[in-house]
Structure 1
């Protein structure tokens, strides 16, 4: 999946290590938009035979699309894969004209019992939830095997079975800015950020608003934490990361029982929830009661 994976568990559960990595390989074979992945084949041949993992991931993504008011849109692949070429040897910055003319729309995805097909010019990119999906499947398999204590992750998606602490990375330099303390037997954390993939500099990052078709400029990273599925948190963090700032904050705050930490490009931190403790601030720390006033100030300054 083009990133790092890890797993930490007690010696008595060592048998689960191979299952974990086998699961990641299985999901990658289905959801990867790079050569040898089924999604790559779907994007380039328009149709594939139904695959349970691809179908399930797309069905979940269509729900996330509705849940996020269209800001989580897997047909963003028409931009991220076809125009920008993120993660390939053909990375480039497309023209505004090309961005405007690109075809997006979840109505261009068609599934039945036998096949999954895309309309002409539609390309999908499951990178905004695929890692979380892989972690969810691994968690389900490990729990079924009786694993009760483990910490494992794939890039910014981390799962805790049992008690754990998770460090949140500074999006500007290599250091920890916050610690998240789990409070349940099954706990998930997901971080999405502009610093993870970009062309030339973070102005042309992979977190692209499907409505404006522009890369995110104000939000550097979004971390969500709670007793939810990683795929859900992964998708919601991606959606928040591409939203206009006011909508991003209001949407994050609407997620029930989810703690969040949003770090802006100017270093300002917006925090909610007792499970997140900031250890090294990157700038001012805002809490929900002060965010609205701060956003109004930013808007007045920009005018």
Structure 2
């Protein structure tokens, strides 16, 4: 039998690259082979997340999203492939979640003081946004993938904040693959994606945050290997109005900020885009409808509910087993 031989693998070094984007920071921790050009990799990672921000930010007046929102009804708008991919996923999750996830809540977001227009709720703007939302249907946005364009079939304002960060993490993972990195953890805010495992074979350990406003504390640890995770909650971005705390996530069906017992929802999925969108959908749906929805879709999800006695968990998939190392509350 002939003697088998192979070139030894290049040694790996733990490296972390990071930078600012979307009002927060992106990061990529990796066990990268020493032959990887880290300078070029950092440039490509920064470009990937910046491209998503440039296309899909509601805060940038020249973004593709703002162009679409400003366009007249029934006017085709040329859009980049990446944005059409995100819009397509957003509309799929909207349909499958019966509107719990809705990419057409931009006017409501602005009216309630969470967008680029105002920093506090405006009664008249809320009334107008509610009237518009009542007229909006799932068929009000048409995508033409072959031609690279979209058009609105009714007046609406698209908002992709519940999915764009997850997509940006997926773009980071693609860049890491292109540079030959096989062991990495890409992160942007509460969205993360593991590219393989750590070089030694162990999964990547990710902290599950305790949903407490103004305080960062670890509640548990997740282990990721070629998997994504996203968390949506009511504790990070909110407004205090008349002693009440308004969460930034909109419930389009009520035309108001989400208001239920759910403090946070964490979802596992193959892509960070899907994990991000479904975490938002389940947060809006609430504990009863949301759990049934997650079961129907076969999602692995963890709900943290606010109860008089403290936080209560409801979990599906690995969240319903001992694979999550639970810290004391």
State whether TM-score is above 0.5: yes
Match of residue 174, structure 1, among 209, 216, 220: 216
Cα deviation for residue 21 of structure 1 reads: 1.6
Gaps of 5+ in 2: 1-21, 198-202
Equivalent residue for 2:271? 229
Cα deviation for residue 75 of structure 1 reads: 0.5
Equivalent residue for 1:84? 112
Contact kept, 8 Å, 2:108 with 2:256, in 1: the verdict is no
Higher normalized strand content (fraction of residues):
2
Q: Give CA deviations for 1:189-209 in whole Å, capped at 9, x if unaligned.
A: 111111222222673212222
Equivalent residue for 1:3? 24
Which has the larger Rg? 2
Paired residues, number: 276
**Partner Cα separation in structure 2 for residue 219 and residue 56 of structure 1:** 29
Query: What RMSD over aligned residues (CA atoms) do the two structures have, in Å?
Result: 2.1
Distance 1:246 1:232, change over 3 A: same
Q: Is structure 2 residue 199 aligned with structure 1 residue 199? A: no
**Partner Cα separation in structure 2 for residue 76 and residue 234 of structure 1:** 16
TM-score by length of 1: 0.83
Gaps of 5+ in 1: 282-303
Cα deviation for residue 140 of structure 1 reads: 2.1
**Partner Cα separation in structure 2 for residue 244 and residue 68 of structure 1:** 12
Cα deviation for residue 4 of structure 1 reads: 2.1
Distance 1:3 1:87, change over 3 A: farther
Q: Which moved more, 1:97-106 or 1:65-74?
A: 97-106
Contact kept, 8 Å, 1:9 with 1:149, in 2: the verdict is yes
TM-score by length of 2: 0.77
Higher normalized helix content (fraction of residues):
1
Contact kept, 8 Å, 1:31 with 1:53, in 2: the verdict is no
